[in-house]
Amino acid sequence: MNKLLVIPSIDIKDGKTVRVVQGIPELDCPDYGNDPVEMALIWRAENAKCIHVVDFNAAWDGSGSPNSSVIEQICSSVIIPVQLGGGIRSLDAAKRAMDMGVYRIVIGSLAVENPTEFRKILDTFGPKHVAAAIDSFENEVVIRGRQVKTRLTPLKFALDLNQWGVERYIVTDVRTNGMMLGPNIGLSKSIAEYTNKKVTLSGGIRNKDDLMDVQKCLDYGVDSVIVGRALYENKFPCQRLWRVAEFGIFS
């Protein structure tokens, strides 16, 4: 039987690991450390099968990021796939990310603001290596580091992306992100059902019970979760979880 894939998140700002609460990165969090590369090695040692990295400098300004060398080090330091989100707003930026060793890029803002460029990236690298980010706040898609409202509903956005050939969605309820409120399972399940594609749920996971609730949606296409704060703050023993309850395949 397939199991839920648990993906630890490493959120980076100014070269440091940060805690993210409702899309806002917080520096100087003792439980999170300062070295994203060291954190990647820790998660790999804990038997993670994949790592999700967010570059908040790039997400906010969309230009050259001070975190590029750090992200490249993460990719070269672990032997598991690394997926990267934040600030990928052109084909050239996507190529740079791939050249750093990233396995999959996660794109949200560009798909809203420049669908033609997004489709170029999708055609160039293929749907296996390009996922669409759907960040939702009160049932409205938000972009630009979750700072700009779009008047699009998550489901309408997902159906548009589906027509372009997207095969995986990273769905985040910003309201629950980093708040330890529990995941918005209904949103991810709806998108998986209506698109008939794979969904990674992000945001709100508090403990093992939440993971078991998400696992009930495997048959609908919700096959993975991105977890940040609950892992960093030891809300459940991740090593035991990954070894006993999760044998996911990155697909």
Say if 157 falls within a structural domain: yes
pLDDT of residue 250: 42
CA distance 124 to 92: 11
CA distance 146 to 46: 30
Range of the domain at 141: 5-245
CA distance 230 to 227: 7
CA distance 176 to 188: 13
Secondary structure class of 8 (helix, strand, coil): strand
Q: Label residue 46 exposed, middle or buried (CB < 10 Å: 0-12, 13-18, 19+).
A: middle
Residue 11 appears among annotated catalytic residues: yes
pLDDT of residue 237: 58
Q: What is the pLDDT of residues 158-171, one digit of tens each?
A: 999 999 999 999 99
Examine the pLDDT at 64 and tell me if it is beyond 70.
no
Q: What single DSSP character describes residue 77?
A: H
Say if 58 falls within a structural domain: yes
Say if 60 falls within a structural domain: yes
CA distance 173 to 155: 13
The one catalytic residue among 11, 55, 173, 223: 11
Say if 250 falls within a structural domain: no
CA distance 54 to 170: 12
Cα distances from 20 to residues 26, 172, 230, in angstroms, run 6, 12, 12
Partners of residue 169 on adjacent β-strands: 132, 199
Q: pLDDT confidence of 32, banded at 50, 70, 90?
A: low
Say if 142 falls within a structural domain: yes
pLDDT of residue 229: 82
Q: What is the mean pLDDT of residues 184-200?
A: 97
Q: What single DSSP character describes residue 178?
A: T
Examine the pLDDT at 219 and tell me if it is beyond 60.
yes
Say if 216 falls within a structural domain: yes
Examine the pLDDT at 234 and tell me if it is beyond 80.
no
pLDDT of residue 37: 94
What's the distance, CA 209 to chain centroid?
Answer: 21
More confident residue, 20 or 124: 124
Residue 35 appears among annotated catalytic residues: no
CA distance 128 to 173: 23
CATH number where 125 lies? 3.20.20.70
Q: Are 3 and 215 in contact (CB under 8 A)?
A: yes
Q: What is the mean pLDDT of residues 3-7?
A: 91
The one catalytic residue among 35, 123, 135, 209: 135
Examine the pLDDT at 244 and tell me if it is beyond 50.
no
Q: How is residue 140 written in tokens?
A: 């409205």
Number of domains in the chain: 1
CA distance 184 to 42: 28
Cα distances from 112 to residues 87, 137, 153, 161, 170, in angstroms, run 13, 16, 12, 10, 15
pLDDT of residue 78: 95
Asked which of 23-32, 46-55, 143-152, 181-190 is least confident by mean pLDDT, the reply is: 23-32
- Mean pLDDT value across the chain: 85
pLDDT of residue 249: 39
Say if 251 falls within a structural domain: no
Encode burial over 230-239: b for 16+ CB neighbours within 10 A, e otherwise. Answer: bbbeebbebe
Q: What is the pLDDT of residues 72-91, one digit of tens each?
A: 999 999 999 999 998 899 99
Predicted model pTM: 0.88
Residues 123-130: contacts with CB under 8 Å, at least 24 apart: 124/91, 124/94, 124/95, 125/94, 125/98, 127/165, 127/166, 127/167, 127/168, 128/104, 128/167, 128/251, 129/98, 129/103, 129/104, 129/105, 130/94, 130/104, 130/105, 130/166
Q: What is the pLDDT of residues 111-159, one digit of tens each?
A: 999 999 999 999 999 999 999 999 998 899 998 767 788 899 999 999 9
Say if 53 falls within a structural domain: yes
